[in-house]
């Protein structure tokens, strides 16, 4: 179980959701580019959709 | 769902396009399909034929060959445009873009079959699916544990941390 400070720093909604919003926008770009394009656009989708996976892996390894 | 959308098109736009044939009997001496395809390709030089619907099927009227043309870019290859050819005379009678609700259905097809974006995207889908399943299963596990009386994650954590006198958050 992770120990946290008793009074965690208060964050505004903007601070909490800024990075999830960025990831969401990137995912949408990846989904649409794979659907409507070929070649270069497939590459765009691979990169943008791999970012959430890499972040998951990074934080999983960092915590464990 | 797909069938319903096609039905709506059949009774809407298709019925409108073939209104003048409503009371005609089905063609007694059908013209050549090959000629019908050639006529459709001449009318839409930038498109390729995808398939031909015979008269009396769900994709056509009872008096027409419907030559469904598709575009040649990744986006327009999914968008079909039927060219209606009179099956008796072989003349092109009408050709209109499919309405937005059929276009939406056609565009969404690769999302269901996953046949786009190549092998890397398929692997990415698989990994994202596994991550989603893990989140679902661990959430269910925590929820079920909570409901068992006597077994409380919070209490276990508090008891464990009581010995080292440090406040904890039980998130």
SS3 string, chain A, reads: CCCCCCCCCCCCHHHHHHHHHHHHHHHHHHHHHHHHCCCHHHHHHHHHHHHHHHHHHHHHHHHC
Tokens read off for B12: 């809407």
Looking at beta carbons, which residues of chain B come within 8 Å of A1?
A: 157, 160, 168, 170
* Position with higher pLDDT, A3 vs B66: B66
pTM given for the model: 0.59
Confidence bin at A51 (pLDDT 50/70/90): very high
> What mean pLDDT do residues B136-142 have?
94
Is it the case that residue A21 has pLDDT exceeding 90? yes
What is the structure's pLDDT at B156?
67
Mapping DSSP to helix (H, G, I), strand (E, B) and coil, where does residue B61 land? coil
Name the β-bridge partners of B83: B67, B95
The whole-chain average pLDDT of chain B stands at: 81
Which of A26, A42, A54 would you mutate first to test chain B, the one with the most B CBs within 10 A? Answer: A42
Using left for φ > 0, alpha for ψ between -120 and 50, and beta otherwise, residue B114 falls in left
pLDDT in tens, B76-86: 787 888 888 88
Q: Which residues contact A3 (CB under 8 A, 6 or more apart)?
A: B161, B166, B168, B169
pLDDT in tens, B110-132: 888 878 888 999 999 999 999 99
Which of B124, B130, B162 would you mutate first to test chain A, the one with the most A CBs within 10 A? Answer: B124
Contact between chains at A34 and B170 (C-beta distance less than 8 A): no
CB B166 within 8 A of CB A3: yes
Contact between chains at A46 and B111 (C-beta distance less than 8 A): no
Looking at beta carbons, which residues of chain A come within 8 Å of B166?
A: 3
> What mean pLDDT do residues A10-38 have?
89
Give, as one character, the DSSP assignment of residue B30. -
Distance between CA B79 and CA B72 in Å, rounded? 10
> What mean pLDDT do residues B57-71 have?
85
Structure ipTM over 0.85, yes or no: no
């Amino acid at each position: 179980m992770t120990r946290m400070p008793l009074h965690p720093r208060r964050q505004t909604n903007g601070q909490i959701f800024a990075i999830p919003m960025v990831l969401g926008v990137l995912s949408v770009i990846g989904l649409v580019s794979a659907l409507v394009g070929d070649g270069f656009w497939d590459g765009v989708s691979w990169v943008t959709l791999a970012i959430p996976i890499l972040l998951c892996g990074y934080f999983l390894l960092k915590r464990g | 769902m797909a069938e319903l959308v096609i039905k709506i098109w059949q009774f809407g736009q298709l019925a409108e396009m073939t209104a003048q044939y409503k009371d005609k009997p089905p063609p007694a001496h059908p013209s050549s399909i090959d000629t019908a395809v050639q006529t459709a390709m001449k009318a839409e030089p930038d498109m390729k034929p995808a398939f031909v619907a015979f008269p009396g099927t769900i994709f056509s009227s009872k008096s027409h060959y419907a030559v469904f043309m598709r575009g040649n870019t990744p986006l327009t290859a999914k968008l079909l445009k039927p060219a209606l050819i009179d099956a008796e005379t072989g003349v092109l009678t009408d050709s209109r873009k499919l309405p937005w609700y059929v276009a939406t259905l056609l565009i969404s097809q690769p999302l269901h079959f996953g046949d786009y974006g190549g092998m890397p995207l398929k692997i990415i889908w698989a990994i994202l699916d596994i991550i989603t399943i893990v989140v679902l299963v661990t959430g269910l596990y925590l929820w079920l544990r909570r409901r068992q009386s006597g077994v409380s994650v919070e209490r276990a954590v508090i008891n464990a941390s009581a010995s080292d006198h440090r406040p904890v958050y039980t998130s």
